[in-house]
A and B are shown apart, each in its own frame.
Chain A
Amino acid sequence: MAKYTLEVYGVGRPQAGEREVELELEPGSTLEELLAALGQQAPAIADRVLGVDGRSLRPPYVLNINGLSFVEDLSLRPQEGDRILLMAPPAGG
């Protein structure tokens, strides 16, 4: 099993201390599988962000790897140790 860290921003209760969610999956899992795992392990968050299929994000939520690239392709396989950010992209102001 490999450990993946999800950092969650601004979802659910604004003061939720649960910004980091540790997920354990098979090594080489895809982002899609990670989201499905989120649905199992953190339903309070998942309920707000997952699409009806439970394996994708509903707008406006997006994923970002390590604070660098935003990703649309959920078949991507993050490396172990990658930090996966889940957020509504910053906008406006």
Chain B
Amino acid sequence: MDPGTNRLLLIDLTERRVETRPLPQALFENYLGGVGLGTRLLLEYCPPGVDPLSPKNPLVFVPSPLAGTLIPAGSKHAVVTKSPLTGMIGDSLSGSFWSAALRLAGWQALVVTGAAEALTYLFVDDGRVYFRQATHLAGLECWQTEEAIRRELKDGRVRVATIGPAGERLARYSGVFNDGTRRAGRGGVGAVMGSKKLKAIAVRGTQAVQVANLDAMEREALRLFQVAQGPVTEKYRALGTPANILTLNRLGALPTRNFQQTTFSGAEAISGEELYDKHLVKVAACSGCPVGCEHIYQAGAGSQKQSRTRLDYETLFALGPLCGVDQPNWVIRAADLCDRYGLDTISTGGTIAWAMECFEKGLLSLGDTDGLELTFGNGAALVQMVERIAQRQGLGDLLAEGSRLASQKLGQGSDHWAINVKGLELPGYEPRSLKTMALGYAVGTRGACHNRSPSYEVDMSGKVDRLKAEPGRGAMARDQEDFAAVLDSLVICKFMRKCFSDFYVDAARLYQVSTGLQLGAEELRLAGQRICHAKKAFNIREGWTKPLDWLPPRTLTEPIPDGPAQGVRLTAEELTMMIDDYYQSRGWTPEGLIPRQKLEQLGLEDLWPQISDKGSTPAPGKSDRGGSSLPAGARKPRPSSSLKGG
């Protein structure tokens, strides 16, 4: 590896101190980069049991070691921290120019600790770091912030990762956005940044990125660029992921009206086909990507005309069918606002959908919503609600906490339809209809996630019956997680994955020509396992217990009411069986804990002291299903005997 670029930049915002640390080669051999290396750094720099919004929670940025080169779709970066939404690991991925800029500036990782006194932004200017006043940037939208900083620094080469007003107000699912349309969205990484009074990280990288074998890289890359124009990526380049709307709808797997239905009568109106026809402005790409999947749409007609945003399926589902909205103009407008304010669209849609159901069931009144008819399908109300969440105004203040905490506060049984796992709202794949995905959601370390656990691929493969829960799914979900962990750590965008004939062999080769590290296919596969275990170890350390691996009550009690899979149920017994199957396939205890020998096998024995005393299941009757808001290690107060007189 180029010793010039495998360095860590450690920034303490409290002390205004900057330090450079070398990153030993072994760290890359074991964790690759991206999410993997980010997790390892989090374990090192995050003290156990911290409040995620306290200065001690570090915010870790790790680009791909392939960023800033010709490796296709390699310019990505991970943002890793303890999530204020889940209390578990919060790892999020973004990409494009900012990722490359960090590497061009000579850095392979950034760890930000502490908190500034007043709103600040960091300027990483190649090897120098400046702490710059950002009070004049307070309240600015994400893109506005980027432009303001570029103007201020008088250089268009400056790339900016920023939070919006939502992150400044510590909305628990705010993100860190960069380059206009790229988003480290999930888990509330933006709130952590906001709690540090860190508005943005501007990077100017003008140095050279060296690679181990440039000739081989050029040849491999050129070949892959051609493959990336072929049928395996056609969907991404043509309609993009919004094509999922009609296919998932047809399969009865399109979560609609807060997961009350699995098909949406408005699917055609909100489909990828309709958006392509009437709203598409441009198809673009991330830096370094030959595929080009970025579909940028514009709302037409009336007051929404200014709204323009990149929409992918998840955003479309969360602000469309999930909220019952079938008008593209409203969805584009709502998504545009999420972009500007710096909000994760999945959690935004999921939380608003929860609130819509509360309103329709009479648990929230017009008084609570300040006169807003917060009903499913009301696009204007959806847009209004996004504004209020970003500003923490009125009901927006409650909703900015996420559906889990909001339903805990509201009570009255509303947790039944707070559709989240560990606090992270579910993405747009119906678990009752895709039972391997259901397992993947339940056991995922960052919460319900289709990216960390692409288990829906198993359900769509024809190798299993997606409507049945059977033994063997555990190993399949495990393999999907390991595979995703490798992609998320190399980092190579998942949309490239079908361009490889033998993924682990080809990916190892790409990693090798870039870094010079001689990792083989098997070592890569093992790294994926190791990374998943490191994430799990972090969670155990922070108080994870088995009841957190579960699914929301709606999905386990209500049968599918519509579509081709009408009548199908996912039962608690099925889920328990699959979870136990998964733990077994992982080599974990029945409580889902990692035994010492397993850690040793993966070279993680140094983590044993951190987790050896953790993870006892709560006593019967005090089940935590649905998640606890207590910080790890907290004890429930007991009645004091001294109160009873005497």
Q: Which chain B residue lies CB-closest to A63?
A: B462
Q: Which one of A67, A68, A90 lies within 8 Å of B456 (CB-CB)?
A: A90
Q: Do the beta carbons of A92 and B460 come within 8 Å of each other? A: no
Nearest chain A CB to B451 CB, angstrom units = 8
Give the distance in Å from the alpha carbon of A87 to the alpha carbon of B244 in the complex.
Answer: 10
Majority DSSP secondary structure for residues of A touching B: loop
Give the distance in Å from the alpha carbon of A48 to the alpha carbon of B237 in the complex.
Answer: 14
Q: Which chain B residue lies CB-closest to A16?
A: B273
Q: Do the beta carbons of B564 and A91 come within 8 Å of each other? A: no
A43 within 8 Å of B by Cβ? no
Q: Do the beta carbons of A15 and B231 come within 8 Å of each other? A: no
**What's the A-B contact tally at a CB cutoff of 8 Å?**
107
Give the distance in Å from the alpha carbon of A7 to the alpha carbon of B234 in the complex.
Answer: 18
Q: Which chain B residue lies CB-closest to A73?
A: B462
Q: Do the beta carbons of B276 and A14 come within 8 Å of each other? A: yes
B45 within 8 Å of A by Cβ? no
8 Å CB interface, B422-474 against A: 427-429, 450-451, 454, 456-457, 460-463, 465-467
Give the distance in Å from the alpha carbon of A70 to the alpha carbon of B247 in the complex.
Answer: 12
Give the distance in Å from the alpha carbon of A74 to the alpha carbon of B495 in the complex.
Answer: 27
B517 within 8 Å of A by Cβ? no
Give the distance in Å from the alpha carbon of A90 to the alpha carbon of B246 in the complex.
Answer: 9
Q: Answer whether A70 and B460 are a contact pair too, CB < 8 Å, given A15-B276, A88-B234.
A: yes
Give the distance in Å from the alpha carbon of A64 to the alpha carbon of B244 in the complex.
Answer: 15
Residues of chain B contacted by A92 (CB below 8 angstroms): 236, 241, 244, 312-313, 450-451, 454, 494-495
Q: Do the beta carbons of B427 and A67 come within 8 Å of each other? A: no
8 Å CB interface, A37-56 against B: 48-49
Residues of chain B contacted by A10 (CB below 8 angstroms): 235, 238-239, 243, 246-247, 272-273
Q: Do the beta carbons of A64 and B251 come within 8 Å of each other? A: yes
The winner among A58, A73, A90 for most chain B CB atoms within 10 A is A90
Q: Do the beta carbons of B314 and A88 come within 8 Å of each other? A: no
Residues of chain A contacted by B465 (CB below 8 angstroms): 69
B222 within 8 Å of A by Cβ? no
Q: Do the beta carbons of B273 and A14 come within 8 Å of each other? A: yes
B317 within 8 Å of A by Cβ? yes
8 Å CB interface, B243-268 against A: 243-244, 246-248, 250-253
B565 within 8 Å of A by Cβ? yes
A62 within 8 Å of B by Cβ? yes
Give the distance in Å from the alpha carbon of A72 to the alpha carbon of B461 in the complex.
Answer: 8
A81 within 8 Å of B by Cβ? no
Q: Do the beta carbons of B272 and A72 come within 8 Å of each other? A: no
8 Å CB interface, A77-93 against B: 85, 87-93
Majority DSSP secondary structure for residues of B touching A: helix
B520 within 8 Å of A by Cβ? no
B232 within 8 Å of A by Cβ? yes
Give the distance in Å from the alpha carbon of A75 to the alpha carbon of B348 in the complex.
Answer: 45
Q: Do the beta carbons of B498 and A60 come within 8 Å of each other? A: yes
Nearest chain A CB to B319 CB, angstrom units = 13
Q: Answer whether A93 and B244 are a contact pair too, CB < 8 Å, given A7-B250, A68-B565.
A: yes
B563 within 8 Å of A by Cβ? yes
B606 within 8 Å of A by Cβ? no
B277 within 8 Å of A by Cβ? yes
The winner among B250, B276, B312 for most chain A CB atoms within 10 A is B250
Q: Do the beta carbons of B457 and A91 come within 8 Å of each other? A: yes
Give the distance in Å from the alpha carbon of A92 to the alpha carbon of B243 in the complex.
Answer: 10
Q: Do the beta carbons of B564 and A93 come within 8 Å of each other? A: no
Q: Do the beta carbons of B243 and A90 come within 8 Å of each other? A: yes
Residues of chain A contacted by B243 (CB below 8 angstroms): 9-10, 88, 90
Give the distance in Å from the alpha carbon of A59 to the alpha carbon of B239 in the complex.
Answer: 17
Give the distance in Å from the alpha carbon of A9 to the alpha carbon of B248 in the complex.
Answer: 11
Q: Which one of B247, B466, B494, B498 lies within 8 Å of A9 (CB-CB)?
A: B247
Q: Which chain B residue lies CB-closest to A10?
A: B243
Q: Which one of A9, A58, A93 lies within 8 Å of B246 (CB-CB)?
A: A9
Nearest chain B CB to A78 CB, angstrom units = 14
Q: Do the beta carbons of A93 and B231 come within 8 Å of each other? A: no
Residues of chain A contacted by B467 (CB below 8 angstroms): 68
Give the distance in Å from the alpha carbon of A67 to the alpha carbon of B232 in the complex.
Answer: 22
Q: Which chain B residue lies CB-closest to A68?
A: B564
Q: Answer whether A67 and B563 are a contact pair too, CB < 8 Å, given A91-B456, A92-B494.
A: yes
Give the distance in Å from the alpha carbon of A64 to the alpha carbon of B429 in the complex.
Answer: 17
Residues of chain B contacted by A25 (CB below 8 angstroms): none
- A/B interface sample: 6 pairs, CB < 8 A: A10-B273, A48-B231, A49-B231, A72-B461, A89-B247, A91-B454
Q: A10-B238, A89-B460 are in contact. List 16 more A-B contacts (CB 8 A).
A: A10-B247, A49-B231, A59-B498, A60-B231, A69-B462, A71-B462, A72-B462, A87-B247, A89-B461, A90-B248, A91-B235, A92-B236, A92-B244, A92-B494, A93-B314, A93-B317
Closest 9 CB pairs of A and B: A93-B313, A67-B564, A70-B462, A89-B460, A90-B244, A93-B314, A72-B462, A10-B243, A14-B276
